[in-house]
Structure 1
Amino acid sequence: MDTPSPDSADLQKCESSSSPGLTLTNAMPEDASPVEPQDAKVRCVRIPDLFSSIMATKPVVNPHYHDVKPYADRWITKIMQEDDEWGAKNSKADFCYLSSLWVPDADEEALRVVVAWNEWIFHFDDQFDDGHLSSDPLAAQEEIDMTMALMGEEPPLQREANPIRWLFQNIWNHFKKRASPDLQQRFKGMHKIYFDGLLTQIKAMHQGRLLQRSVQEYMDMRRGTIGTYAAVALAEYAHGIKLQQEIVDHPSLQDCLCIMSDLVVLKDLALGVDINLMSILTEQGLSTQQAMDKIGVQIDDCYKRWYIALANMPVWGEEIDREVLKFVEACRCVALGNLYWSFKTGRYLGYEGYEVRRTRMLHLPPSGAHGPA
């Protein structure tokens, strides 16, 4: 799919549009002085090129996608004890498509496990974003402690008692059948990073400090909360990647993990999914477009950091190097899959995904409009 840069006609069309489309609310505080006089009239912002450099290749969809998706949709609706209306809505999120891009070479069983994990993390995460755990740090800690314990010697749970915990225990039981002891420990460690990030976010929100952080502090927190580290461990399982922990701990591989997470975070920021960093930047006196341009610079920096990480990679020998290349590609596929999924499913952009990608113009709300993004 070609993605030409927006021309002046696209910009004029965007500025004159009366439809607000996707909202990017609260990006500029009401009482802030606009850096550019025309800011109040602008109805669009030009987003960075998200499909360049290591994101320029087209992803491969797992060949089992069409068989697994209908099964997975019915299965999760039953597990969550929901009705057909809920199932139809959940199906549109198409977590099977996301999973298929992450693990294009996985067999059908492994793909089902990855889909189940994506279902789990989104429903688990909802409790902390907008659910009952979003404003209760003690309850959030308790839920995380109980979930971590499921990767120990906990007895089997009853599905009806807590579907989300049962789902995670089921995923873990399938995962450990194929995973080496090193990978099992890595899976636990990657989830601890995710859980610690959630707790940091909950505490910051509870104390009203979420937007009082520096850009670097905010990126460090978000890197943990998006769960992409654990996604790579899933990809290792699904593709049978065999690496000892001492290899994965090498700075170059750790950099690949970090860059992959940063690309997903910055993509969410560019598409208006997460407006918090935009708010931090505009509080520093930047206009909305200047804040978006700064995000674009950070994305380009991720690409440079990626190639530097590869250049600093040691040569371990044929057998290990082959597995390392698979690991590096797994990191890239997680970021690339998340990007394509965001545009295809309409989860973030509604029906505007193709047009936003073609023009790189994202609609903003009418001047003075505020509300949830």
Structure 2
Amino acid sequence: MSDKPQMIHLPETMANWPWPRYINPHYEEVKAQSDAWFKEFKPFTETSQHAFDKCDFGRLASLAYPWASKEHLRTGCDLMNVFFVVDEYTDVESAPIVREMVDIVIDAMNYPHKPRPDGEILLGEVTRQFWERAIKTATPSSQKHFIEAFTDYLNSVVEQASDRDSDHVRTVESYLSNRKENIGARPSYVPAELGLNLPDEAFYHPVVTELSYYIAELIILDNDLASYNKEQATGDDRHNILTVVMQQFNTDLEGAIAWVVNYHEDVEIKFLDGMKRLPSFGPTVDKELEEYVLALAIWPRTNDCWNFESGRYFGSKGLEFQKTRYVPLLPKVKNDSTLKREQVVVPLVDL
């Protein structure tokens, strides 16, 4: 028997993506401000906060919004902190509790000037403060788009919790349909839109909607490839495209990865083709739409770079794995799922 650890091969899915890596020059400064604000809420234990910090969500925002002003980048950094605290808090709860949490977040977003009730879970006040600051520098159309997209995302988190409660593994089609909202891509496009005034006929045009969902799919595929190792180790891999493909097509991990690579290539082609089919709405709107579509197009590169540059999935060895493309399979660990809210365990990856 060999003592060598089993390895997972991470294919270079983004090798042919036409858009390079960018990062916002205000990254360090704005990330520090956002993180200091977030930590005031004491959302985690010291150990879990350390693991959360390793994820470097300010880097994710700075890669995603490389041309944003400091104010709009701050909205992006705050949003990433909000996303991932919602993620950590809801991941360990049953669907009815997740529904209660989600309703609090939706209420805080719709009434950002209303004081939150005493004793409420901190998600309400975190969301309220984030959105109250964001709307000061956001156009009315971008505010509307964010509230719609973030509400859809939150409702999909409840669906994910229902799947978890019943240990339900979806089909590929059903999984991607839920995950396209659940990955949080649509609300994540909005910080790039905060200064734009895209009219409904452009923003909701079928081709633009199609493009936004293709990007969401690329983010899902790359996120699931990167996160699978951590998720299989903690027993939280039922909500991952690799598990779904293995079960539906009765294949092994290698076969599932090959399926994802092929599907990824198909989606890339569809996105590039869709860009050619964008209608014209006149010079002013076309210029803004071009800016928005560019913001969509850099998201898959953003996501791929952050997967390796942060410590969320590969600990301190991300850049090494980005070169070698081989990651040792993590041993199974048991997290204490009885620890909730401020006591929730944010797993630290150490490969």
TM-score (norm 2): 0.84
Alignment equivalent of 1:225, drawn from 182, 204, 227: 182
Change (3 A) 1:256 1:285: same
* Aligned-pair CA distance for 1:85: 6.0
Aligned to 1:172: 131
Is residue 61–residue 100 contact of structure 1 (8 Å, CA) maintained in 2? yes
CA distance in 1 between counterparts of 2:251 and 2:45 reads 46
Q: With a CA cutoff of 8 Å and minimum separation of 6, indicate the structure with the bigger relative contact order.
A: 1
Q: Match for 1:266: what amino acid?
A: L
Does 1:250 find its partner at 2:205? yes
CA distance in 1 between counterparts of 2:132 and 2:32 reads 23
Alignment equivalent of 1:103, drawn from 61, 65, 77: 65
Is residue 77–residue 86 contact of structure 1 (8 Å, CA) maintained in 2? no
Aligned residues: 324
SS in 1 for 2:86: helix
Residue ranges of structure 1 left out of the alignment (5+ in a row): 1-15, 21-42
CA distance in 2 between counterparts of 1:60 and 1:246 reads 30
* Aligned-pair CA distance for 1:113: 1.9
Aligned to 2:110: 152
* Aligned-pair CA distance for 1:81: 6.1
Q: Match for 1:164: what amino acid?
A: L
CA distance in 2 between counterparts of 1:262 and 1:159 reads 39
Is residue 231–residue 334 contact of structure 1 (8 Å, CA) maintained in 2? no
TM-score (norm 1): 0.79
CA distance in 1 between counterparts of 2:88 and 2:186 reads 19
CA distance in 2 between counterparts of 1:115 and 1:345 reads 14
* Aligned-pair CA distance for 1:307: 1.1
* Aligned-pair CA distance for 1:289: 0.9
Aligned to 2:20: 58
* Aligned-pair CA distance for 1:128: 1.6
* Aligned-pair CA distance for 1:354: 2.4
**Percent of residue pairs identical:** 23
Change (3 A) 1:360 1:249: same
Is residue 116–residue 167 contact of structure 1 (8 Å, CA) maintained in 2? no
Alignment equivalent of 1:71, drawn from 8, 28, 33: 33
Aligned to 1:322: 287
Aligned to 1:185: 144
Residue ranges of structure 2 left out of the alignment (5+ in a row): 232-236, 335-348
Change (3 A) 1:175 1:74: closer
Aligned to 1:140: 98
CA distance in 2 between counterparts of 1:191 and 1:45 reads 33
Cα RMSD of the aligned pairs, angstroms, is: 2.5
CA distance in 2 between counterparts of 1:87 and 1:141 reads 25
* Aligned-pair CA distance for 1:282: 2.3
SS in 2 for 1:80: coil
